[in-house]
């Protein structure tokens, strides 16, 4: 993702790529990135940018946030890293007190429209319809369910005015018994080089509604992140989402 963001940014006259952050010992940086440092020792890179786009891992994001906090940096931050803990989210909220921060489980415009549609469908259909969320990703993905699947679950829960943690179920095995009313099920498939596919199934007694999004190229996420960065650069400190960027 970092390489794709750098490639698209370098080709866009609205952006100047000042550098990149990568793990210790990483080699072969893309030609679009003039300087590469580590998250723990970024040097002047953070301060020389208007916006930092992070598609890494929770541990590396924590290093960036810690470095920012220690240096008092107020550079805008666009975060696409998933698998974040509650502690990570607290760090992001603290960062948003002095800088504009935007997080998204998925930067695709289509997925963000899907989130809105899932919330609206859940509010309209109510608990008479069972909800199952199925996501498929490449075999190298480490977290499950995906951040986008969880965001879809949060959208459904919001539409129903319930707490997702109280109705969530991850997979089924053995003899789990009858499906409880109001449950929101998650199922994760892993294989091959699938970029990302998400389905939200609303299953009723006499009818069924399926909402689906398939990503055909990772560039869709990079393009959305750059759109978010362009928008965030003009914002005041605060915590934002793609809904703010898209005006949804």
Residues 23/24/27/32 CA torsion (nearest 10 deg): 50
pLDDT tens per residue, range 7-22: 999 999 999 999 998 8
Domains of the chain by start residue, with CATH: 2-107+219-246 (3.40.50.720), 109-214 (3.30.360.10)
pLDDT tens per residue, range 49-75: 999 999 988 999 998 898 888 888 889
Cα 197 to chain centroid, rounded: 14
pLDDT tens per residue, range 100-142: 999 998 899 999 999 999 999 999 999 999 999 999 999 999 8
Q: Which sequence positions are flagged as catalytic?
A: 137, 141
Judged on CB neighbours under 10 Å (0-12, 13-18, 19+), 122 is: buried
What is the pTM (predicted TM-score) of this model?
0.79
């Amino acid at each position: 993702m970092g390489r794709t963001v750098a490639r698209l940014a370098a080709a866009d006259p609205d952006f100047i790529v000042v550098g990149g952050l990568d793990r210790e010992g990483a080699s072969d940086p893309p030609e679009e990135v003039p300087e590469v440092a580590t998250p723990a020792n970024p040097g002047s890179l953070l301060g020389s940018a208007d916006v930092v786009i992070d598609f890494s891992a929770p541990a590396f994001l924590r290093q960036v946030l810690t470095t920012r906090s220690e240096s008092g940096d107020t550079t805008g931050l666009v975060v696409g890293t998933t698998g974040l803990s509650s502690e990570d989210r607290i760090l992001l909220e603290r960062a948003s007190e002095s800088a504009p921060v935007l997080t998204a489980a998925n930067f695709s415009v289509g997925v963000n429209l899907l989130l809105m549609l899932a919330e609206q469908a859940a509010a309209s259909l109510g608990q008479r319809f069972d909800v199952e969320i199925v996501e498929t990703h490449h075999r190298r993905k480490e977290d499950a369910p995906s951040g986008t699947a969880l965001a879809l679950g949060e959208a459904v829960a919001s539409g129903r005015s319930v707490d997702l943690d109280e109705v969530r179920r991850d997979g089924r095995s053995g003899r789990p018994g009858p499906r409880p009313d109001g449950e929101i099920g998650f199922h994760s498939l892993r294989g091959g080089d699938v970029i990302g596919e998400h389905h939200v199934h609303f299953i009723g007694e006499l009818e069924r509604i399926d909402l689906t999004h398939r990503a055909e190229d990772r560039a869709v996420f990079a393009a959305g992140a750059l759109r978010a960065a362009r928008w965030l650069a003009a914002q005041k400190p605060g915590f934002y989402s793609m809904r703010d960027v898209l005006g949804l």
